[in-house]
Amino acid sequence: MDAEERRRGILEATRRTGAAEVNKLAADFGVARETVRRDLRVLEDHGLVRRTHGGAYPVESAGFETTLAHRTTMHVPEKNRIAAAAGDLIGDAETVFIDEGFTPQLIAARVPVDRPLTVVTASLATAGVLAGREHTTVLLLGGRV
């Protein structure tokens, strides 16, 4: 079991029981307590759990959104399939809007490169994916910082 799978299991355990103890998690996953503590730190950094003395509890909120860095590691095969399908849907379009986020970055990598296309986006990362393409014009939406 790699670290990502273990962290997913730790998160599921905290959600299922409402809290989890380091000692029990270490025994359940067959790893050292310090490994569990490091995993809990990572999960807390991503806003998924709140650490307590000797354990953690899940952070659940309808308004909660994980960081982009974390989302780039989640469901990547599925996101690649979505990106491929979205790239195919562009068809003969001359202009498309690509939103912000990791999946839209994958979609940007799938837009046609062999014909003129204008892409409108508010995402610097998406604009960066497209910036060097010969036939693609990128319009980056401005705004207030």
> Which tens digit of pLDDT belongs to each residue from 48-103?
899 999 999 888 643 445 566 666 777 889 999 999 999 999 999 999 999 988 89
pTM: 0.54
Q: Which long-range contacts (CB under 8 A, 24 or more apart) does 37-43 make?
A: 39/3, 39/6, 39/7, 39/10, 40/10, 42/7, 43/7, 43/10, 43/11
pLDDT at 70: 64
Could you read off the pLDDT of 3-35 as tens digits, one per residue? 899 999 999 888 888 889 999 999 999 999 999
Q: What is the mean pLDDT of residues 42-48?
A: 90
Q: Environment class of residue 104 by beta-carbon count within 10 Å: exposed (0-12), middle (13-18) or buried (19+)?
A: buried
